[in-house]
Structure 1
Amino acid sequence: MPDHAKTELDHVQDTLAQLKEMRHYSANNVETLTAQWLLFDGELSKLGRTAKIDDLMVRQGELHEALEGVIADFEELATELQPAPEA
């Protein structure tokens, strides 16, 4: 067992680390999807089948943007939970 129980700050920092990892993978996914999509867009547009994939790409981008907002919120919370410096 650990010497001390996790504090609220510990939990916030753990969550923040997970969110940042999710952001990293989200950014990589957006870049990969975009690169792959550009290769196929021309051919699929001729077939009239691009709308569904365009929607997926928009949703992936929205997820990435939402992660940025949540990360900023948790960073602010972590700052608020920092113990006051001892005088």
Structure 2
Amino acid sequence: MSAETKTPLDHVNATVVQLKEMRHYCKNNVELLTTQWLLFDGELSKLKQAARIEELMTRQGELYDALEAEITELEALAVTLQPAPEEEAGTLH
């Protein structure tokens, strides 16, 4: 199916898949950064880098939350874009 023949539902579903992949990697990044933070907090503080890393962790967490919200919104939109059952039955004849 080319981009020209995709329906709005196809585009929404493709976007949801991409956002879910981003969310997965975002979560992993937050977990890895948190692990590093816990291991090296003392050293980072001595080097005056702790606040910068903490800011990155906060921003990464905000990105995760924003991705989650957008996925929820698009999944709700996808439900409204589903063809009505009679439309699906009519195309089978």
Fold conserved (TM > 0.5)?
yes
Give the C-alpha shift of residue 58 in structure 1: 0.3
Deviations 1:28-51 (Å, cap 9, x if unpaired)? Answer: 101111011111102222343311
Bigger mean CA offset, 44-53 vs 30-39: 44-53
User: Structure 2 regions of 5+ residues with no counterpart?
Assistant: none
Work out the number of aligned pairs and report it.
Answer: 86
Is residue 25 of structure 2 the alignment partner of residue 25 of structure 1? yes
> 1:8 is matched with which residue?
8
Stretches (4+) displaced over 2 A: 46-49
- RMSD of aligned residue pairs (Cα, Å): 1.7
AA matched with 1:72: T
Bigger mean CA offset, 43-52 vs 30-39: 43-52
Give the percent of matched residue pairs that are identical in Structure 1 and Structure 2.
66
User: Structure 1 regions of 5+ residues with no counterpart?
Assistant: none
Larger radius of gyration: 2
Q: Quick one: distance in 2 between partners of 1:34 and 1:46?
A: 18
TM-score, reference length from structure 1? 0.90
